[in-house]
Structure 1
Amino acid sequence: MRFSRLWKRSPKTKAKSHEESDPQTPPIAPNLFQSNQPRPPDSSTPTPSQSPPEVPQGSQAQSVFAHANNFHLEHFHYNQPDDQRQGSSGWEQLLKATSTSALHNSRARFDPPKCDEDTRVELIREISTWIEDRDSPTQLLCMTGAAGSGKSALQQTVAEGCASKGILAASFFFNTGDTTRNNISRIIPTLAYQLGQKNRTLRRMIGVAVEDDGLIFDQSLMTQIERLILRPIARLAPSESASLPYAILIDGLDECTEERDQRELLRTIHDSFLNHRSTFRIFLASRPELAIFEALESGGHLHGITYPIRLSDDYDATSDIRLTVRRNFVEIGLRRRWEHAWFTEEDVEAIVAAASGQYIYAATAIRYISEPRRSPVERLRAIRSSQSGTHDGTNPFGPLDAVYALVLTAAKEGYEAIDNRHDFL
């Protein structure tokens, strides 16, 4: 041993000669290798009886090497129990993997479409009743409808209603034009984030789960749901898990650009939430595209175990569209402070007829007419003129095409009218 000669006691009579024989050896600090343990008592001295020192309550859990000294540890790893870990770094990683624009109250979705007052009343009541019926064995409601049938407006309205009641667990609104929410890579972290915000203990356990696997966000949706949602919830005290909100809303699955992603999400919902008999109630909306069509039809893995709502087939929105058009026309007159009626019931009925039960036509026409820098009377007249010859049956989207042509023409004219010097200098 390199320092063995320093530990060897030499007779006192040799100490001086030793120092003189090795003058280049630096003097050793007297306490450098001195133990803190008391010297053994001299045999000639009587030793008083001593009782062991008292150990304070709880100190054994903190003192890994009690009364130890004069040693060195290398490559030491201390694994703290999960119930003592805070998971803060894992939670920070989760936030980075979240799509904030997919939330129902995201600033990125400012002024989202939602149902006008007194419209879709029966349908909203039906959906809300299903969500709040926690004894129902059906846990998934699938609402399908064509583009412009009002799916997103219904989702937004129901989401706000659930939030006001304290039962909204999480929401995710897909959007084709947003790279953070036109695929499935961020949906589970986003759902987990919202759940963690509802319960501090759950938030900590989700953070710990992320810390335990830094690649969790690159794994399958099933793995992510299992580790970030189902397992943490299962570890909650029964009183805490029972108090969690339970409504999960997913809108616009068809706006997830990859059909493979759509299929994986539907399969994962079935294999995780439905097969595990979780307490969540899931409301999903989509156009009836191939992935969801096959899942819901006979032989599909969701057939017979979902609550289906088919907007285009089962729910006529004509009366609601009429209410919406009339209400918006009245509001346009109030904003202009017109005391006289600037539209007729014939104008309202013409737009309702052209809509053919689809909200998208009425909504587009209303936005075009209500442009504050243009005359609503002239624009309404342009809408009525565009409807001529669009109902010949050869093109079911003829009226919609015509109103879009008006919108694009107005945009082009507005762009050409810009005075660069006055507007930008």
Structure 2
Amino acid sequence: MASHFNNAHHLQIDNYQSVNIINPSADSLGALQAQIAAGAIHDSRERCDAPKCHPETRVAVQDDLYGWIVDGDGESERPRDVKWVTGPAGTGKTAVMGSLADRCAANGVLGATFFFASWSASIGRRRKTSFVTTIAYQLARYREDLQTAISTAVEKNPDVFEKNLHVQMEALVLSPLRELVRQSDGPGLRGAIIIDGLDECEAEQYHDTTSTGARGKPVRTNAQDQLEILQVLRAASSDPSFPFRILIASRPERVFREFFDPKSNPTLFADKLDLNEDYNANADMTLFLEAQFNLLRRRYNLPHSWPPPNTIQTLVENASGQFIYAATVIRFLDAGHRESPKALLEAILKMGSKLNSNSNPLKQLDILYSNILESSPDPLLSIQWIRAVRWIGDTPEASAFSVTTLLQTDPESDEAEHLLGNLYSLIWIPPPSDQATSGYDFYHKSLFDYLDDPGRCESLYESARRLHTLQGPSYTS
């Protein structure tokens, strides 16, 4: 991303942590910065371990999207400035968007990003509140003249942070862009706004106090807040002064299917790209597994004959287009179990032999999750811990140390390692030296889709529910 700041209003933007306020412009940007979700930006510290496409994989889809950002639709009569990237859980949407954001940033065509995450301890990544302010803040970093226009907008609208998203988009983004178009003699703006995981945006927790119950029922649903963001982005894309192409990645939930349906929304000029239907992921997954097995062979001094013939082909077929399956298999083999990677791989391959070719595409992932969880010395208590970590993780102060201290029954025991030590392929556990400041993290939302669905989790779900009842309050979210 281009940087054109001068010394008169320098911002310390590394990790988005501090602002050197030495003039009114910087003062306004400092006020704006205080309202952003820093962890939602593509290169934030919170996303340092976020999934990215393995080199030489997903090349076609990335080239397609990047070409659209830079060159548009070619000879299309009406440019389509919005593209919806979709696909089921585990098809690699976030990895594609993350790698694409890096590529756009390196080439100076990245306007802004926002990566939602329902599992994040940062409330800003889970809700709409900081969406427009985070976009505006990044645009202010894009060019000096745009920075000045956005700073002026903040000065003129000091209460804008208390307004709804439509008002914020108009005041902080569209009005400054119009002003820039009127005044600028330089090259025009171009680039991309990349939004990932919009289906993971949770509703603001307003409640109807007239309803029964202590807090009443929520006034808004997740779908309503997601639709509000879609409508805000649509209004931006239709403004003649808005120069950016918008990419929105989400699962194919109903609110998105209806919004992007040309029949129900004929005035929206948008394209759809389905990672599951439009691109064959098998070749990319084969490259990924080949590279990872090479690393495992070197790391564990395994023979060149490992893995056995047709293993990669079998794993690719079992994945059914879900990159999360392949990634979880590799993490499981490399998690430092007492068993060797050879023995663990044999167990994984035996799981697949029990299924027929017409199985549910999620079945292999479910079986993999079940086997990993059952490798814990106490699977049901481990699930209790996972649910609790997810629930307590909603608070910013939820470091791994504080969560462990709260959950363990014996302060002298290493209960966390006992219960979670075999689950490193599902949950990221910070090293002991960082546990006072870093929290637990989960690799993919599909784990909770599995745990929350009795039809998929089956016996583990029912046993865990009974354990909830026996032990007291539930930690389910």
After TM superposition, the score normalised by the length of structure 1 is 0.73
Alpha-carbon distance change, 115 to 209 in structure 1, aligned in 2, over 3 angstroms: same
- Higher mean C-alpha displacement, 349-358 vs 388-397: 388-397
Q: Report the 3-state secondary structure (helix = DSSP H, G, I; strand = E; otherwise coil) of the residue aligned with 2:83.
A: strand
Q: Report the 3-state secondary structure (helix = DSSP H, G, I; strand = E; otherwise coil) of the residue aligned with 1:312.
A: coil
Q: How big is each residue's C-alpha offset from its partner over 1:88-144, in whole Å with a ceiling of 9 and x where there is no partner?
A: 332222111100110110110112111111112111111111000157511111111
Alpha-carbon distance change, 307 to 174 in structure 1, aligned in 2, over 3 angstroms: same
Take 1:270 and 1:214, find their aligned partners in 2: how far apart are those partners? 25
Deviation at residue 267 of structure 1 after TM alignment: 1.1
What residue number does 1:58 align with? Answer: none
Q: Report the 3-state secondary structure (helix = DSSP H, G, I; strand = E; otherwise coil) of the residue aligned with 2:336.
A: coil
Take 1:280 and 1:385, find their aligned partners in 2: how far apart are those partners? 49
Q: Report the 3-state secondary structure (helix = DSSP H, G, I; strand = E; otherwise coil) of the residue aligned with 2:353.
A: coil
What residue number does 1:30 align with? Answer: none
What residue number does 1:139 align with? Answer: 81
Deviation at residue 357 of structure 1 after TM alignment: 1.4
The one-letter code matched in structure 1 to 2:131 is I
Take 1:96 and 1:345, find their aligned partners in 2: how far apart are those partners? 55
Mapped contact 2:157–2:171 kept (Cα < 8 A): no
What residue number does 1:188 align with? Answer: 132
What residue number does 1:99 align with? Answer: 37
Mapped contact 1:170–1:191 kept (Cα < 8 A): yes
Alpha-carbon distance change, 421 to 413 in structure 1, aligned in 2, over 3 angstroms: closer
| Equivalent residue in structure 1 for 2:341, among 349, 369, 376 | 376
Deviation at residue 409 of structure 1 after TM alignment: 2.4
Take 2:370 and 2:345, find their aligned partners in 1: how far apart are those partners? 14
Specify every segment of 5 or more residues in structure 2 that has no aligned partner in the other structure, as ranges: 1-22, 203-221, 383-409, 418-431, 433-477
Take 1:332 and 1:303, find their aligned partners in 2: how far apart are those partners? 52
1:109 aligns to 2:53 (yes or no): no
What residue number does 1:16 align with? Answer: none
| Equivalent residue in structure 2 for 1:88, among 23, 26, 42 | 26
Matches within 5 A, 1:114-133: 114-133=52-71
Q: How big is each residue's C-alpha offset from its partner over 1:312-347, in whole Å with a ceiling of 9 and x where there is no partner?
A: 222221111111111111111112234533212321
The one-letter code matched in structure 2 to 1:387 is G
Alpha-carbon distance change, 298 to 377 in structure 1, aligned in 2, over 3 angstroms: same
Q: Report the 3-state secondary structure (helix = DSSP H, G, I; strand = E; otherwise coil) of the residue aligned with 1:345.
A: coil
Q: Report the 3-state secondary structure (helix = DSSP H, G, I; strand = E; otherwise coil) of the residue aligned with 1:104.
A: coil
What residue number does 2:261 align with? Answer: 297
Alpha-carbon distance change, 411 to 161 in structure 1, aligned in 2, over 3 angstroms: farther
- Higher mean C-alpha displacement, 387-396 vs 316-325: 387-396
The one-letter code matched in structure 2 to 1:420 is S
Deviation at residue 285 of structure 1 after TM alignment: 0.8
Q: Report the 3-state secondary structure (helix = DSSP H, G, I; strand = E; otherwise coil) of the residue aligned with 1:138.
A: coil
Deviation at residue 164 of structure 1 after TM alignment: 0.8
1:238 aligns to 2:181 (yes or no): no
Deviation at residue 245 of structure 1 after TM alignment: 4.9
Deviation at residue 348 of structure 1 after TM alignment: 1.0
Take 2:197 and 2:268, find their aligned partners in 1: how far apart are those partners? 22
The one-letter code matched in structure 2 to 1:247 is A
What residue number does 1:271 align with? Answer: 235
Deviation at residue 364 of structure 1 after TM alignment: 1.2
Take 2:359 and 2:26, find their aligned partners in 1: how far apart are those partners? 60
Specify every segment of 5 or more residues in structure 1 that has no aligned partner in the other structure, as ranges: 1-84
The one-letter code matched in structure 2 to 1:272 is A
Alpha-carbon distance change, 411 to 102 in structure 1, aligned in 2, over 3 angstroms: farther
What residue number does 2:296 align with? Answer: 332
Take 2:188 and 2:32, find their aligned partners in 1: how far apart are those partners? 23
Take 1:368 and 1:220, find their aligned partners in 2: how far apart are those partners? 44
Mapped contact 2:40–2:113 kept (Cα < 8 A): yes
Matches within 5 A, 1:8-407: 86-134=24-72, 137-178=79-120, 179-236=123-180, 237-240=183-186, 242=187, 244-257=189-202, 258-276=222-240, 278-301=242-265, 305-374=269-338, 375-391=340-356, 393=358, 395-407=360-372
Deviation at residue 301 of structure 1 after TM alignment: 2.9
- Higher mean C-alpha displacement, 270-279 vs 165-174: 270-279
Q: Report the 3-state secondary structure (helix = DSSP H, G, I; strand = E; otherwise coil) of the residue aligned with 1:250.
A: strand
Q: Report the 3-state secondary structure (helix = DSSP H, G, I; strand = E; otherwise coil) of the residue aligned with 1:284.
A: strand
Alpha-carbon distance change, 411 to 131 in structure 1, aligned in 2, over 3 angstroms: farther
The one-letter code matched in structure 1 to 2:272 is P
- Higher mean C-alpha displacement, 294-303 vs 349-358: 294-303
- Higher mean C-alpha displacement, 405-414 vs 115-124: 405-414
Alpha-carbon distance change, 275 to 134 in structure 1, aligned in 2, over 3 angstroms: same
Take 1:353 and 1:360, find their aligned partners in 2: how far apart are those partners? 13
Q: Report the 3-state secondary structure (helix = DSSP H, G, I; strand = E; otherwise coil) of the residue aligned with 1:282.
A: strand
Q: How big is each residue's C-alpha offset from its partner over 1:266-316, in whole Å with a ceiling of 9 and x where there is no partner?
A: 111112222435211111111111111001113333666112111222222
Take 1:127 and 1:394, find their aligned partners in 2: how far apart are those partners? 32
Mapped contact 2:116–2:125 kept (Cα < 8 A): yes
Deviation at residue 243 of structure 1 after TM alignment: 5.1
Q: How big is each residue's C-alpha offset from its partner over 1:340-364, in whole Å with a ceiling of 9 and x where there is no partner?
A: 3321232111111111112121111
After TM superposition, the score normalised by the length of structure 2 is 0.66
Alpha-carbon distance change, 104 to 114 in structure 1, aligned in 2, over 3 angstroms: same
RMSD between aligned residues: 2.6
Q: Report the 3-state secondary structure (helix = DSSP H, G, I; strand = E; otherwise coil) of the residue aligned with 2:310.
A: helix
Mapped contact 1:270–1:302 kept (Cα < 8 A): no
Percent identity reads 33
